[in-house]
A = this chain, B = another copy of it.
Amino acid sequence: MIDMDEMWMQEAFKLARQAESLGEVPIGAVVILDDELIGSGYNCKEYNQNPIAHAEIIAIQEAVKKLNRWRLNDCSLYVTLEPCQMCLGALINARLKRLVYAAKKTKTQINHNIILKTGVLETPASLLLSDFFKKIRKLKS
């Protein structure tokens, strides 16, 4: 009997090898809906000089374009490596139903510090948002 999870992970592997052939860290991902592949991607960060070009992000973008909706709440994503913080956040934003990954991350996170300044024009920014949501609620009521 075919293990469907292994089968789709093999597809993610093929994509990881495509990344490797470009000299990229070999990571691949696929998005599956009703036993059909609707999105695929491989890491191409260096090739495209794009810090966002992770396998999962590319696979998600292909899937939402195909479905013409941002919610993936009926989809599974298979990826050969445990997602980073950005990709996990993207999967949450997309309301992904199910995540399957193969290898565990060995490094837990990138060692990088960002200088942070908060509260610049905080009041008008908060008002802009609260006014927007007030209007939305009025339209809905």
Contact = CB atoms under 8 A, between A and B. Distances in A.
Interface of A: 5-6, 9-10, 13, 16-17, 20, 25-27, 45-46, 49-52, 54, 57, 60-61, 64-65, 68-72, 78, 80-82, 84-104, 109-110, 112, 114-122, 124-126, 128-129, 132
A77 to B, nearest CB: 9
Copies per assembly: 2
Given A70-B49, A85-B88, A13 B110 contact: no
A122 to B, nearest CB: 5
B25 A121 contact: no
B125 A13 contact: yes
Contacts of A125: 9, 13, 16, 80-81, 102-103
Contact of A93 (B49, B72, B84): B84
